[in-house]
Amino acid sequence: RVNYRTRSGGWRPIDNRLRRTGARTIRNGAGDLRIALPARLGSGSVQATRAGAGLAFAAAGAQPAAAALSGGEARFVGAFRDADLVYEAHSDALGERIVLRASDAPTSYRFVLHPTPGLRARRAAGRRSAVEFVDAHGRVAYQVLPPFAFDAAGPAVDPFRPVSMSVKRRGS
């Protein structure tokens, strides 16, 4: 069993199971990383918060799909045309997958990210296409790893060639 340190200094078991905490919100049980998902896409953003710093983000153009929960996984079936959006709660990360259900499913997806005040984005050193969100002292609060793809019918696709990620700053 893995534990995390609480604000009061004690230790508590990490609980990555996702649960509905009301009509509109899904949260992980317990841990240093706090995760909040909308129960239905379009009704709020996905949020990951640790030690007061966080990222909120939403899938642009997603349909208002409802979440189906299973343990630490939330699956939004039909989030996009011929594609599902899946989030997985881990002890130190929030995983995200887009599952394509047809060969002619869209090949480009856009997410709008909003870091908490005081965080800024930068390209991660030595990690191709990874983006870090750092505080005023340059400490990494979050890292968005480069995307990868695989085909359910065969071996993994080269994780660095067929998919890419870019970050564009909008606003102040």
pLDDT digits (tens, 9 = 90+) for 111-138: 989 999 999 998 888 766 788 999 999 9
Residue 92 has pLDDT above 90, yes or no: no
Q: How many CA atoms lie within 13 A of 70 on its CB side?
A: 4
Residue 102 has pLDDT above 90, yes or no: no
What pLDDT was estimated at residue 165?
Answer: 64
Mean pLDDT, residues 9-21 taken together: 91
Residue 171 has pLDDT above 70, yes or no: no
Q: Which of 89, 13, 90 is nearest to 5 (CA)?
A: 13
Q: pTM score, two decimals?
A: 0.85
Q: Please answer whether residues 49 and 86 qualify as being in contact, where contact means their C-beta atoms are separated by less than 8 angstroms.
A: no
What pLDDT was estimated at residue 58?
Answer: 93
